[in-house]
Amino acid sequence: MPELDELETRLVGLTETDIQRGLEVFRSKLKAAEASYLNSCVHCGLCADSCHYHRMDSTLENIPAHKLELISSVFKRNFTAMGRIAPGLVGAKPFNREMAKAWVDAVFGRCSLCGRCSVNCTIGIALPRIFRAARAALGTMGLVPTDLQATVDNSLKHGNNMAVTKDDWVETVQWIEEELQTETGDPGAKIPLDKQGAKVLFTVNPREPKFFPLSLLASAKVFWAAREDWTLASDNGWDLTNYGLFNCNDEQAGAITQNLVDAMERLGCQTLVIGECGHGYGAARWEGPEWLRKSYPFEVKSILELMDEYLRAGRIRLDSSKNPIPVTLHDPCNLVRHGGICEAQRRVLRQAVDSFIEMTPNREHNFCCGGGGGQLAMARYKQRRIRSGGMKAKQIRESGAKIVVAPCHNCIDQLMELNKEYKLNVQIKTVAEMVADALVLDA
Amino acid sequence: MTTLHLGVLLAIAWAVLTMTFLHLKAKSYGIRKLYSKPAGDPAKGVVYAFTLGMAPWAKESVMMNLPSYGAGLAFHAGVLTALGLLPVAAFRLELPSFVLFSVRLFTLAGVVGGFVLLMKRLVNPQLRGLSCPDDFVSNILGSTFALLAFAWTLSPVAEVPWMAEAMLLLIYAPLGKIRHCLFFFTTRYHLGAFFGRRGTFPPGGRFHA
Ligand code: SF4
Ligand code: SF4
């Protein structure tokens, strides 16, 4: 595993200055909330089974509190009086090469930042906030796994995380537009590119033009049916993903967010609509303004909210009998628990399909699919990712549904792997795909 | 009020002052200025975090660990009851018999709860792995405090060791994990505000379907 060697090499090469810089960055990420979290854990261990890693592999290293303890022990040693006076008593430990290695393993290798432990913690510690501070510190020490960093670098360099060229993107959009015209029977059906003053700027995950063009086609069909005034950007500003959320380098994350802000300004749109992507929504809607340290002069919505609005306003009509196969819904952590969008997708699906079965648990209690937190971009942790996804596989199987709807392309990738690995024999679709299939088109 | 009582009073003053210092220290890290538009009401999230969000049925972790949760509740009830008993001892107050019965029940439950948690920490390898000496010291101090309070309700002979133990507990409280008696509130506040702002709390769903 060359990646392992590379990371190991960087660990071995760490200097005292690197370690001090890491500590400084870690400290700079802490505010009153985090200081409180780091003083709170009582080591009750009740959070253990809230984590899908621990549920599928019950080792000490997978307990959320253990991951937290690795970080709080360093906090205590460096930033508290008791940690300096009696480190052995309160479990305070120095930050050194060994500890940095343990941090990498814990916060990159055993955590998808899903936040399920937060809602289950006896005290109420929002653990991912601490893990994010640790990731940022490791980043400054050059310890972000190379492939995760490469995804961020792609976005910074090419304006999208898969290095899709402008020509390829535009060509794909034009091809999907032709498909849209065929499917709707409307030769005037358009997928507008760079339409000045359009109401909605729609953004997608680069996996859509690359591997899942039908997803983009489905969204376009819904916009067409709703007679939406929308556009895509032909250049920077069409990719909704932001892996800066996962390498936790706020500067890089902010630069990626700026692409969206610039596109909104360039095109004079009113609403930035984020396609079906959990982390993309979290990054653009919640973290983006914090990274940029300014409020947006426009609104940000998920396409799920928009479809919900269309249905409520009667702008689209659905015939659920067109989707007769039982459907269950996966709740992406960044969209639901951390994003606050819990009901819109349910209201939409209930009208789009004949039989909607909730997974158990669901909403803010959902289990991560295992692919979040940048896990899909870190090849070295693939085995753990697939294993931890076993909880999601179990949920899917127990639902008895034959279609899993996942409003997130990252989750879809992971679910497709789980489908194969755990022989689930299900189809995996987006909400827009279900809606597009159920659309009642005017004659 | 005896010298012993005065000692306890001083220990209380120490605990309050150092806890206040810890609180101010944590606050000095600064409040994050937020720029994203809220989707929900942080205040409602905080209210939820301190009410229904703490209900056993709102947390899978509790439902999966009901005996531990019960032991924890009993332990805390015992320690708090013993704390409440300190002024009773200091001012030689008479307790009505039903109150005295409740006090005995709670303090004894606290001892049992503390003992169960201590055993669990010793026996369960994962919990042992999570623990540091402070976890054991804190538990033993709390359990002994509840035990001596219980003993005092039976015989005034226990007063001297109980008061001495109270001093130890109060002096140690801000130094180790017992500080969670402060940080529990600030942490839950921040959690509630975070999820409230994002519109996740108060929730519409349950972990069971
Ligand atoms: S955030 Fe999710 S993956 Fe990370 S420790 Fe908590 S439950 Fe586990
Ligand atoms: S539930 Fe919370 S307080 Fe208990 S061990 Fe886990 S993180 Fe710590």
Q: Is A337 helix (H, G, I), strand (E, B) or coil?
A: coil
The closest of B34, B141, B126, B51 to A291, measured between CA atoms, is: B34
In chain A, what residues touch B195 (CB-CB under 8 Å)? 119, 364
Residue A193 lies in a domain: yes
The answer, yes or no, to whether any atom of ligand 2 lies below 6 A from the CB of A260, is no
Residues A77 and A18 grouped into a single domain: yes
* Domain contains A246: yes
Q: Which of A91, A118, A364 sits opposite B134 (nearest CB)?
A: A91
**How many C-beta atoms lie closer than 10 Å to residue A79's C-beta?**
18
Cα–Cα nearest to A61, from A103, A121, A90: A103
Same domain, A291 and A428: no
Interchain pair A339, B198: CB under 8 A: yes
Residues A105 and A160 in one domain: no
Establish if A443 belongs to a structural domain: no
A371 lines ligand 1 (CB under 6 A): no
- Is A46's C-beta closer than 6 angstroms to any atom of ligand 2? yes
The reply to whether A32 falls in a domain is: yes
Which of A111, A127, A143 is a domain's end point?
A143
SS3 at position A204: strand
Point out the domain boundary residue: A81, A116, A143: A143
Residue A211 pLDDT more than 80?
A: yes
| Number of the ligand 1 atom closest to the C-alpha atom of A115 | 1
**In this structure, what token pair is assigned to residue A360?**
């158990």
Which pair of structure tokens corresponds to residue B91? 């001012």
Query: Residue A222 domain-assigned?
Result: yes
The mean pLDDT of chain A is 97
A331 plus A415 within the same structural domain: yes
Report pLDDT digits (tens) over A387-426.
Answer: 999 999 999 999 999 999 999 999 999 999 999 999 999 9
Residues A359 and A215 in one domain: no
Task: Please check whether residues A298 and A277 belong to one and the same domain.
Answer: yes
B 158-187 residues with CB < 8 A to A? 175-177, 179-180, 183-184, 186-187
Determine phi and psi for A262, rounding to 5 degrees.
-65, -40
Atom of ligand 2 nearest to the CA of A127: 7
Q: How far apart are CA A51 and CA A368, in angstroms?
A: 9
Residues A128 and A181 in one domain: no
A18-29 core/surface letters (b: 16 or more CB in 10 A; e: else): bbeebbebbeeb
The C-alpha of A362 sits at a distance from chain B's nearest C-alpha, in angstroms, of: 6
**Å between B169 CA and nearest CA of chain A:** 15
The whole-number pLDDT of residue A335 equals 98
Q: Are residues A239 and A124 located together in one domain of the fold?
A: no
Scanning B186-205 for CB atoms below 8 A from A yields 186-188, 190-192, 194-195, 198-201, 203-205
pLDDT (0 to 100) of residue A401: 98
Question: Cα(A206)–Cα(A35) distance, rounded to whole angstroms?
Answer: 37
- Chain B, residues 111-140, CB within 8 A of chain A, namely 124-127, 129-135, 137
| Residue numbers of chain B with a pLDDT score lower than 70 | 1, 204-209
Q: Tell me the per-residue pLDDT of A356-380, one tens digit each, with 9 for 90 and over.
A: 999 999 999 999 999 999 999 999 9
What is the reported pLDDT for B203?
A: 87
pLDDT tens by residue, A56-67: 999 999 999 999
Statement: residue A179 has pLDDT above 50: yes
Among A312, A333, A359, give the residue marking a domain's end: A312
Q: Which residues of A touch B132 (CB under 8 A)?
A: 43, 88-91
Q: B124 vs chain A: nearest CA distance in angstroms?
A: 10
Total domain count, chain A: 3
Provide the pLDDT for residue B209: 39
> Which of A39, A292, A295 lies at the smallest CB-CB distance from B183?
A39
Beta bridge partners of A200: A230, A271
HSE value, Cβ hemisphere, 13 Å, CA-based, for A313: 11
Residue A1 in domain: no
Which pLDDT band, with edges at 50, 70 and 90, does A443 fall under?
A: low
Closest-CA residue in chain B for A298? Answer: B37
Q: Are A136 and A156 in the same domain?
A: no
Nearest by CB to B199, which of A86, A340, A360? A340
Tens of pLDDT, residue by residue over B100-114, are: 999 999 999 999 999
Evaluate whether residue A432 is within a structural domain. yes
In a domain, A23, yes or no: yes
Other Cβ atoms closer than 10 A to A419: 18
- For residue A231, list its beta bridge partners: A201
Which of A5-9, A255-259, B182-186 has the least mean pLDDT?
A5-9
Of the ligands numbered here, which is closest to the C-alpha atom of A120? Answer: 2
> The domain spanning residue A113 has which CATH number?
1.10.1060
Closest Cα partner for B75 from A122, A238, A267? A122
Predicted confidence (pLDDT) per residue in A38-58, tens digit: 999 999 999 999 999 999 999
Per-residue pLDDT, A7 = 87
**A271 and A380 inside one domain:** no
| CB contact (8 A) between residue A288 and residue B36 | yes
Q: CATH code at A324?
A: 3.40.50
Alpha-carbon span B28 to B34, nearest angstrom: 17
Q: Is A286–B127 a contact, with Cβ atoms under 8 angstroms apart?
A: no
Decide if pLDDT at A3 tops 70. Answer: no
Instruction: State whether B205 and A362 contact (CB < 8 Å).
Output: yes
ipTM of the predicted structure?
0.96
A128 in contact with ligand 1, CB cutoff 6 A: yes
* Residue A67 Cβ contacting ligand 1 at under 6 Å: yes
Q: Pairing relation of β-strands A200-203 and A271-274?
A: parallel
Ligand 2: centre distance to CA A42 (Å): 6
- Give the tokens for residue B126: 């994962």
Domain that holds residue A172: 149-312
Residue A6 pLDDT class (50, 70, 90 cuts) = confident
Residues A29 and A159 in one domain: no
Q: In terms of domains, do A123 and A54 share one?
A: yes
CA B89 to chain centroid, in Å, comes to 21
